[in-house]
Amino acid sequence: MSSPGSSFVQIKHEDLLFYENCGGGSFGSVYRAFWVSQDKEVAVKKLLKIDKEAEILSVLSHKNIIQFYGAVLESPNYGIVTEFASGGSLYEYLSSEHSEEMDMKQIMTWALQIAKGMHYLHAEAPVKVIHRDLKSRNVVITADKVLKICDFGASKFLSHTTHMTVVGTFPWMAPEVIQSLPVSETCDTYSYGVVLWEMLTREVPFKGFEGLQVAWLVVEKQERLTIPTSCPASFAELMKKCWQADPKERPQFKQVLVTLETMANDSRLPDQCNSFLHNKDQWRCEIESTLERLRKLERELYSKEKELEERERRLKLWEERLMERSNMTPSPTPLLMERPSHGVRSELGVRESRSDLGMIVQGVRGDLSESISQKIRGEVGVIGHSGMQVSMRASSNQNSVKSCSVRHGTKINMAAAALDMMELDCKTLRNPKKRPNYINI
């Protein structure tokens, strides 16, 4: 925004009486407070600075979007002031015993309210807004049980940019958001599907997994939340559409609303949905079974990485010993002992060069040369039990050969192109009869 406070009400810090901390939002903590001059209970999100969130909120007005009152612009007490939702967050409600009373009517009502709020952001607001952090913690419940979407700290005006940095919470994030790829409105559709799953199952998505573990599972393994087999088909189909890997295959919220309206008019759905909700003990084991399978997959990957790290350590040790026994020292100077080309022997008779595909040892006769050439030439691929391919390439600038793998959505350097090099018989260098003959260069 061009000038702070030009588009919204400025509220004095002294005009606010703060009570307890009622949660944390993107980049700030949220407090219940009392706006003295207006005789009104409010929520105040404390910030280090006033940024785009206030600008975004100032142009929004919808019954399912949290109402913005103004901002505190006095350093260091920056803050955003909104209406206070006394019912807490949807996440808190779903974690409470009260959620056991939920029926199909309430789920359908709330699913429609969230979808209407998101449709407003994407298609009806003065400027299109991508929320990017839609989750049950960012949906609050008012005293009259109306859901409102809040916390726009991770949001963007669609007209500003479509390339996003990693923001949000991994279990709710679309694959393209996790990877910091260009995004569209349908990244919010993916998150909506997760919230719908939460309301139907009253479970925590990817419970027990850390954020980067979830990122790896969603992006690399194409895993999605488990939909119990007894879940009503119409709900299951909607969630699957929301979780399509290709953003273009996901429905816009206009389509989501049409689907929900059709479902609301299905006379058979209430009985199916209520039966599903009240028989959680029968299908919860399906979710637990999937979580256990994913935990096993994660353990196998971790074990494979440890194995590769150990092989890298052993490879470095082997290289050091090979250099010592060959009277070679690791230094930036060329290993070839240059001599004029008039019959003078090379004291080493060895030249080592590396490329991006392997190491070529030239000027060496005998078993050692052939063994090294066979061991190192080319590119080595290792397939772990997890099904992930680990590409092994030699490095042009290092003495050891590194590789890359993806774990938890991040690149991890791992060992070594020549994993079989450890089998090389270094006794060749110690056996005078097998030492390579010197050659003229």
Domain boundary among 84, 111, 133: 84
The residue ranking higher by pLDDT, 439 or 75, is 75
- What number is the average pLDDT over the span 132-147? 95
Q: Supply the pLDDT for residue 52.
A: 79
Q: Is the pLDDT of residue 158 over 70?
A: no
Residues 144 and 225 both lie in one domain: yes
- Name which residue leads in pLDDT, 24 or 43: 43
Same domain flag for 45 and 129: no
Predicted pLDDT of residue 27: 57
Q: Is residue 285 part of a domain?
A: no
pLDDT digit string, tens, across residues 279-330? 998 899 999 999 999 988 888 888 888 888 888 888 888 888 888 888 655 5
- The boundaries of the domain holding residue 340 are 298-434
- Is 28 contained in some domain? yes
Residue-wise pLDDT for 332-372, tens only, equals 544 444 444 444 333 333 333 333 333 333 333 344 444 44
* Pair (75, 187) in one structural domain: no
- Is-contact 136 90, C-beta < 8 A? yes
Q: Is 289 inside any structural domain?
A: no
Question: How many C-beta neighbours within 10 Å does residue 310 have?
Answer: 11
Using one digit for the tens of pLDDT, what is the confidence trace for 254-273? Answer: 999 999 999 999 999 999 99
38 and 175 inside one domain: no
Does the predicted TM-score (pTM) go above 0.75? Answer: no
Q: Do 269 and 398 reside in the same domain of the chain? A: no
What was the pLDDT predicted at 91?
96
Q: Are 4 and 32 in contact (CB under 8 A)?
A: no
Tell whether 55 and 94 lie within a shared domain.
no
In angstroms, the CA 183 to CA 304 distance is 33
Residues 108 and 66 in one domain: no
- Same-domain pairing of 371 and 430: yes
| C-alpha dihedral, 419 to 422 to 423 to 424, nearest 10° | 110
Share of the chain above pLDDT 70, in %: 68
pLDDT digits (tens, 9 = 90+) for 373-389: 444 444 333 333 333 33
pLDDT of 192-226, one tens digit each? 999 999 999 999 999 999 888 899 999 999 999 99
Q: pLDDT for 379-428, tens place per residue?
A: 333 333 333 333 333 333 443 333 333 334 333 333 444 444 444 444 44
Same domain, 118 and 253: yes
243 in the same domain as 309 = no
Listed residue (326, 320, 375) closest to 350, CA to CA: 326
The angle that helices 104-119 and 186-201 make with each other, rounded to 10 degrees, is 160
What average pLDDT does range 112-126 have in this prediction?
Answer: 97
The domain boundary, picked from 278, 313, 348, lies at 278
Q: What percent of the chain has pLDDT over 90?
A: 50
Domain count, the chain: 3
Q: What average pLDDT does the chain have?
A: 77
Q: Quick one: 112 and 186 in the same domain? A: yes
Question: Which residues are known to be catalytic?
Answer: 133
At 51 the pLDDT is 74
- pLDDT value of position 157: 52
Is the pLDDT reported for residue 150 higher than 90? yes
| Of the residues 32, 51, 84, the one at which a domain ends | 84
Alpha-carbon distance of 381 to 243, in angstroms, equals 32
- What is d(CA 144, CA 121) in angstroms, rounded to the nearest whole number? 23
Task: Report whether pLDDT(115) > 70.
Answer: yes
Is a pLDDT exceeding 60 seen at residue 166? no
pLDDT of residue 167: 54
CATH number at residue 48: 3.30.200.20
In a domain, 290, yes or no: no
